[in-house]
Amino acid sequence: MSELETQPWPEATAESGAKPDVPAEGAPAAGFALPQEELERLTADIVAALKTVYDPEIPADIYELGLIYKIDIGENREVAIEMTLTAPGCPVAGEMPQWVEDAVNAVPGVSGTKVTLTFDPPWDQNRMSDEARLALNMF
């Protein structure tokens, strides 16, 4: 399974043209990236939340199936998730993005979630983790 990309927003600097306000200790001001510890905690909690979402026809969670392509966490703790489905005609295609949004929005510290479906690249079985392969007897 490939690693997820998590991209904090760039820090504000005089060079970027953004106003270089100094954040209060432990809480970054607008324009400043999240502290690394906070980013790591949020990422782990988001992944745990994603592992609670299952395709009803497959006994493995969407994270282990490799349906999550990208997680971006913004400085304001808004989360953008790019995901796919096992097939464009998936019977829960209209519902699963909402399930993902609801699961991630329940994570403490997340201020909002936007889920984008993509089929580029298309999902294939090589994206599944060993855990998913074991659950589906695909060894």
Residues 84-102 have pLDDT tens digits of 999 988 889 999 999 999 9
Q: How far apart are CA 31 and CA 13, in angstroms?
A: 9
Give residue 57's pLDDT: 86
Q: How far apart are CA 76 and CA 31, in angstroms?
A: 9
Structure letter (DSSP) for residue 73: E
CB 138 within 8 A of CB 125: yes
Give residue 32's pLDDT: 55
Give residue 40's pLDDT: 94
Lowest mean per-residue pLDDT among 29-33, 104-108, 117-121, 127-131: 29-33
The two structure tokens encoding residue 5: 């990309």
Residues 2-52 have pLDDT tens digits of 334 443 333 333 333 332 333 344 444 445 588 999 999 999 999 999 999
Q: How far apart are CA 98 and CA 42, in angstroms?
A: 20
Give residue 103's pLDDT: 98
- The residues facing 61 across adjacent strands are 54
Structure letter (DSSP) for residue 125: G
Give residue 5's pLDDT: 47
